[in-house]
Structure 1
C-alpha cells in the first residue's frame, strides 16, 4: 500500500518515511530492553509530523517525562486519525485512554487486551499493559495478557522475561525460573530476564549465587536506564545484606553502583533515589545505618525538592520515612498533605483501592519520627505489606515494610503478635538470617527457652553465604 510501512512486528503504519519507522522500531527496542534512550521516540514525529503512531507514542513518553508537552502530540495524532491504519487506530485508542485524566484502570487493561487480541505480536503494547497491571497490583491480569499472546511469540526476544515477572509475583517460583531461563537463553542481555532469575535466587535464599550471576551480567548494564541499572545493583546489595556479608560490601555497591549513577548527564534522578532509599531503609531496619555515615542525610536533602514528589507512591512512602527520620518534618508533612489531597481527587473506586497505601504512608511518617506505637495504630492489626502492591512495588520491595512491621511490634511489646507474623514469613523464606534474628529477639523478650536454638540457626545461616 502506498505511503505505508511495516514496523518491527510486521504491522502497517501510515508513513512514507523510512527514518520515521526506523525510529519507532528503535523506541520499541529501548522500552523492551530498559534502555537509556527512550527519548528517541521524539525524533519520529520530526521525520513525519503526520504519523499517528509516532505522535501517540511520543505523547505517551512525554506524559511521564514532560507532561506539558504531551497534549500537542495527542492533537497531532488525533488530527490524522482518519488516515491511519487499523493498527494505529487501536494503539491510539488504548494509549489515549491510558494517559487520560481519571481513567478507569480496568477499562485501560481491557482496551489493551482487545488491542493484543487483534495484534498479538506487539510486545510494546504488552509491556505498556503489564506496567499498568503492576501499578494496579494485579499480577494475575498481567499474566493473562502475556499468556494471551505467547502462542504468536514463542521465540520472540523479551517475551519470557515478561512472562517470568507476573509468575514471580504470584509465587509460582518454579514456573518463573523456567521462563526467565528460557528468555536468558534467547538473549543473554535480556535485563528483565536476568532480573527475574535474581528474584528467584533471592527468594530461595541463594544469595551468593545471585550475586555471582548478577555481577557476571553487570558488564552489559551500561546501556540500561537509571532505574534498571540501579535496581539490578539494588538486588546485588540486598543479597549481600540478607546473606550477612560485611556491611562494607553493601556500602560499596551503594556508593559505586547506585549513587554514582547520578554523575551521568542523562541520569534520571528519581529512579536512582527509589533504589537508594529502598536499600537504606533495609540497612536501617537491620541497625546498620551508622556504617553509611551521612549518606541518608545527603539523600534526604535531595528529596526536599518537591519536583521528586508525587511521581510514584512507593517512592513517596520512602521519602516520607527519610524526611521525617532526618528531621525535615515540615517537608514530610507537606508531602503527606499532598498525598491526602491527591487521594481526595481520585474517583471513589480508586480511593478505595489506594486507601491502604495512604495508611502505610501515614505509618511511615510516624515511624520515621520514632512514633512506633502511633504507626502501628494506623495500620491494620493484621498488616501484610504484600497487600500493598498498589503502591507500585514488587514483593521483594515490599518485604522491607513487613520488616518494619515486625520490628515495631517487637519494640512496642506486642511480642506474641510479632512472633506469629515472623514465623509465618519464615515458612516462605526459611533461609533468611534476619528473620531468624527477629524471631530470636521475640523469643528472648517472651522468655522462651527456644531463643538459644533460634539464635544458633541464625548464626549457621549467617556463616553459610559470604563468610
Structure 2
C-alpha cells in the first residue's frame, strides 16, 4: 500500500482497516458498534460517521442499514454511495457491504445474507456486529444450531471480549442447554456487568428453570443500569409489502431498529412476581411505573410498550384478577384501535385481538382480523402454508377474548402447543401465556381429561411453576380426583417459597 493510501486507512474497533481520512468518522463507527451491542439509545451516531466522510464505504453501508425501515429512499442513496466507493474500499469493507446489500432494498435474500455473513466471519472473526446480525438472522430462520456454530467458530478470536459470551449464551438457551447458557451469560457479566444481553439471557434461564425468586433478585439488582437501554427486540415490519419470512428477517435487515428496552426487562420481573405469592399491587406497580410510563419518554417505541403491557395484562387476567385491570385494559385498548400500529408485529396483532375482544370492541377487533386475513391472502402459497396456523391462532385468541371457548378449541384443534408458533416472533416465555390460555380453554370447554394430560406434561417440564399446579388442582377438582389436594399443596408451597 502506498503512502497516500496508508494515510487514508484507519482501523476500527475490531482492528480491521477502513478507508477514511477522518478520525471523527472512525470514532463514530466505533461508537455505533458499542451502541448496538449495548442496546443503547444513541445508534443514530452512525449518521455522523457518514456525514464526516461521505466517501467512506463502511460508514455509508452501516448508515443505510440504520435508516432503511423508516427512510427506504435514504437507505438506497446511502447504499449506492457505499457501492460507488467499493473500488477504493478494503476487503473488510467489501465483505460488509456484500452482506448488507442483500438485506436492504427490494431484492432481499435471507439465506444468501446468512451465507455471506458466515463467510465474512471466517475471514474477519472479530466483527461482533456482523456476528450479531448473523445470529438474529438464524433466530428468525429457526437455525439455532447454525447460530451456535458461528459463535463457537469466532470464539477463539474473542476470548475475554465483552459481549461475546452473551452471544454464546443465546443459542445455547434456544437449544435447551440451560446449564451452558447460564455459564456463558455469567461469564459475560463478569467481563461487563452492564451487558444487557447477558442479563436478559440469564433471566431467561432462571425463568425457564422456575428459579423465580433468584430471577427477580438478579434483575432488580441490574435495574439501575437499564435506563440507558432502548427497546427490546423491536423492529417496524410491514407484512403487506413483503412475504412473512422476509419481513421477519427485516428484523435482521435493520439491526439498528432492534432495541432492548428496559420495559421488557421489567416485564420479566413482573412475570416472575406473578408466579409467587407476591401481592398483585406489586405487579401492577411494575406495570404502571416501569412499562406503561415508558410512553412518556421522548424516544419511546409504543409498539414495544404495548406488547409488554398486553403480555402482562393477559397473564393477570388468566389468574382471575380481571377487575383489577379493567381501567388499564380499557386505556390500552384505546391505543390499540390506532391502525398505524397494526401489522407491525404478529405478536402485537394477536394480543390486541384478545384485548379488543374482551373489552367488547367487536367492530374494531373484526376490522383487525379481516385486515390480517386480507394481507395474508397476498402472500405466496409457500408463505401461506407456513403462516396459516398463525392466522388461526389470531382468530382463536380473539374468540377467547369473547369467551367462546368451544370455538377456540375447534380453531386450534386438540393438540395445540404454543411452542410451535415461533413464527409469530415471540420467545418461549412470551409463548407460555398462550399455552395458559389453551389450558383454560380446555377446562371451560369440557375437555378436562385433555387438560389434565396437557398440564401433567407441562408440569413434568416445569415442576416449579405454581400456576400450572393451580390449573391442575382445578382440573382434578372438576373430575373429583384425590390428586386435587396434592396439587394445591404443591402450588401453595412453591408460591410461599419464592417470596417469603
TM-score w.r.t. the length of structure 1 is: 0.95
- Which position in structure 1 is the counterpart of 2:244? none
Q: What's the secondary structure of 2:496's corresponding residue?
A: helix
Q: Does 1:180 align with 2:211?
A: no
CA offsets 1:198-245 (integer angstroms, 9 cap, x no match): 112212222112111111111111111033301110111111011231
Residues of 2 paired with 1:426 and 1:131: CA distance?
A: 30
**Which whole-Å CA distance do the structure 2 matches of 1:143 and 1:71 have between them?**
32
Q: Which among 5, 8, 20 is matched to residue 3 of structure 1?
A: 8
Partner of 1:153: 158
Which of 261, 280, 284 is residue 313 of structure 2 equivalent to?
280
Superposition deviation, residue 66 in structure 1: 4.0
Q: Distance in 1 between matches of 2:27 and 2:436?
A: 47
Task: Name the counterpart of 2:453.
Answer: 420
Does the residue aligned with 1:262 lie in a helix, a strand or coil? helix
Contact 2:76–2:105 under 8 Å retained in 1: no
Is 1:404 the counterpart of 2:475? The answer is no
**Aligned mates of 1:349, 1:28 — CA distance in 2:** 36
Which of the numbers 30, 33, 37 marks the counterpart of 2:38?
33
1:177-203 C-alpha deviation (Å, 9 max, x unpaired): 100110010100101111111112212
**Where in structure 2 are there 5+ consecutive unaligned residues?**
1-5, 233-259
Q: For 1:393-431, what per-residue CA distance to the aligned partner results, in whole angstroms no more than 9, with x for missing partners?
A: 111111111111111111111111111111111111101
Q: After the TM superposition, which of the residue ranges 430-439 and 262-271 deviates more from structure 2?
A: 262-271
How has the CA–CA distance of structure 1 residues 67 and 372 changed in structure 2, closer, same or farther, with 3 Å as cutoff? farther
CA–CA separation in structure 2 for the residues paired with 1:147 and 1:351: 35
Q: Point out where structure 1 has 5 or more consecutive residues left out of the alignment.
A: none
3-state SS, counterpart of residue 5 of structure 1: strand
Q: Render the CA deviation track for 1:135-161: whole Å, top value 9, x for unaligned.
A: 233323322221221121111110111
Query: Is structure 2 residue 278 aligned with structure 1 residue 245?
Result: yes
427, 444, 456: which is aligned to 2:489?
A: 456
Matched, 1:126 2:131: yes
**Structure 1's 350 and 82: CA in aligned 2 closer, same or farther, altered over 3 A?**
farther
Matches within 5 A, 1:197-208: 197-208=202-213
Following superposition, the deviation at residue 166 of structure 1 comes to: 1.6
1:432 aligns with 2:437: no
Aligned ranges 1:63-462 → 2 under 5 Å:
63-101=68-106, 103-227=108-232, 228=260, 229-462=262-495
Q: Is the 8 A contact 2:270 2:283 kept in 1?
A: yes
1:381–1:94 CA distance, 2 compared to 1 (3 A)? farther
Q: Write the deviation string for residues 81-113 of structure 1: whole angstroms up to 9, x where unpaired.
A: 332222222212211212344634333222221
Find the aligned partners of 1:301 and 1:102 in 2 and give their Cα distance: 37
| Alignment CA distance shift 1:409-1:173 (3 Å) | same
TM-score normalised by length of structure 2: 0.89
Change (3 A) 1:101 1:435: farther
Superposed displacement of residue 360, structure 1? 1.7
Q: Which deviations, in whole Å up to 9, do the C-alpha atoms of 1:26-68 show, x marking residues without a partner?
A: 1111111111111222222111122222122122222234445
8 Å CA contact 2:353–2:398 kept in 1: the answer is yes
Give the distance between the partners of 1:56 and 1:66, measured in 2 at CA: 14
Q: How well do the aligned residues superpose, as a CA RMSD in angstroms?
A: 1.8
Look up the match of 1:61: 66
Q: Distance in 1 between matches of 2:413 and 2:25?
A: 52
Task: Give, in angstroms, the shift of residue 249 of structure 1.
Answer: 0.7
Label 1:261 to 1:57 Cα distance change in 2 as closer, same or farther (>3 A): same
Report how far residue 370 of structure 1 moved. 2.3
**SS of residue in 2 equivalent to 1:225:** coil
Q: Is the 8 A contact 1:134 1:392 kept in 2?
A: no
SS at match of 1:13: strand
How far apart are the structure 2 equivalents of 1:149 and 1:316? 38
Q: Do 1:134 and 1:390's aligned partners in 2 also have CA atoms closer than 8 Å?
A: no
Number of residue pairs the alignment of both structures matches:
467
Q: Provide the rounded CA distance (Å) in 2 between the counterparts of 1:9 and 1:133.
A: 23
Deviation at 1:331, TM superposition (A): 2.9
Distance 1:32 1:16 in 2: 25
CA distance in 2, matches of 1:310, 1:102: 22
**Partner-residue secondary structure (3-state), 2:7:** coil
SS at 1:293's partner residue? helix
Distance in 2 (CA, whole Å) between partners of 1:213 and 1:39 is 31
The aligned counterpart of 2:243 is none
Q: Secondary structure at the match of 1:408?
A: helix
**Matched residues in 2 for 1:338 and 1:99: separation?**
26
Aligned 8 A contact 1:9 1:121 in 2? yes
